[in-house]
Amino acid sequence: MIKDWKQHMNSPTPYRDLTQRLQLLIRKHPILMKTTLSNIFTMRLIGNKTHGDLAEIAISEFINQYMYDFRSIHVGKDLYRAKSKEEDIKIINEITEVEFPVSLKAYVHGPLQLSTDKKSSMFLFLQNEENIETEIVNQEKIENILNNQSFSDFGDMNVLSLVYEEKSKLCNIMIFDYMRAQGSIKRIVREEPGHQGSGRRRKHPVYKFYGINNDYICEVRYGDAAANALQRGLWTHTKNASKFFNSITDGWIEYSDNLDLVKLFSHALVSSRIGHIAAFKEVEKDIVQMKQQAGIL
């Protein structure tokens, strides 16, 4: 509940433990993550959306290779569709045996979808709430809204966001601080179609959430039946809501395109399993060498 957000903000969770450990690993051995992120974003040379899917298996494998107290399983799209919560990879803490889902997002620096709400539950609740106004500033009413079942997942999402700036070749692993955001909401505003947003006019209404100094925090999209179901849900903006993000890479890091990886992919697609097995053995040797150089083997 929002009234308890300060108590929960720093409370330990399995996901928080993972991200803190990941941050420590990156600080100690930055080349491991820099190499991985460079390989992930190189996939944009193959296709504009290719990097997003491959980021899931890449981060899953990164955890398996370099974070010995954790095990990761890539869930896959078919399993994902059957899940009640958004989940791209499943993490198992090998010490505590606790399992928890993680959703991977690979987005350009800007609008970021935190969760999908195909049924528009949040939007419809805001729209149908009795005595709802186009602008809500009453804190008790805001608290009641955020405590409603429609918003039950607001602080219960483990989203790891891989954010990039393609022109400057910079990337960042960012985590939206849900508890801080939830406790900072002072105003909810409905914006109608035609309003200028993200550089273009909106086709559907949205509800935007602001802080005490009119700081943008997040927004709920959309309720219109004509809107893409996959676009509905909770969104934020990595630029406009930057103060509500934590960076586990300690800020922006440079990445570079790996053209040899693209060449490897193209040749692998027209070669046999025999070639794949031979190449895999060489890749395994390289990973061992990287671990030895980092002093983690």
What's this model's pTM, rounded to 2 decimal places? 0.88
The parent domain of residue 214 ranges over 2-257
Q: Number of folded domains in the chain?
A: 1
Q: Which two tokens stand for residue 223?
A: 């309720």
Short-list 257, 260, 254, CA closest to 283: 260
What average pLDDT does this structure show over 286-293? 96
Strand partners, 71: 92
In a domain, 44, yes or no: yes
pLDDT at position 86, please?
Answer: 67
Which residues contact residue 19 at a Cβ distance below 8 angstroms, ignoring those fewer than 6 apart? Answer: 160, 175, 248
Which tens digits make up the pLDDT trace of 180-238? 999 999 999 998 887 655 556 678 889 999 999 999 999 999 876 677 878 889 999 99
Helical H segments across the chain, by residue range: 5-9, 14-28, 30-42, 50-66, 77-82, 121-128, 139-146, 178-184, 259-268, 273-294
Which tens digits make up the pLDDT trace of 17-74? 999 999 999 999 999 999 999 999 999 999 988 999 999 999 999 999 999 999 999 9
Structural contact between residues 275 and 56, judged by C-beta atoms closer than 8 angstroms: no
In a domain, 128, yes or no: yes
Greater model confidence, 243 or 225: 243
Residue 3 has pLDDT above 50, yes or no: no
In a domain, 280, yes or no: no
In a domain, 251, yes or no: yes
In a domain, 263, yes or no: no
The label of the residue with tokens 């693209």 reads 262
Radius of gyration of the chain (CA): 21
In a domain, 262, yes or no: no
- b/e code 52-66 from CB counts within 10 Å (16+ = b): bebbbbbbbebbebb
In a domain, 271, yes or no: no
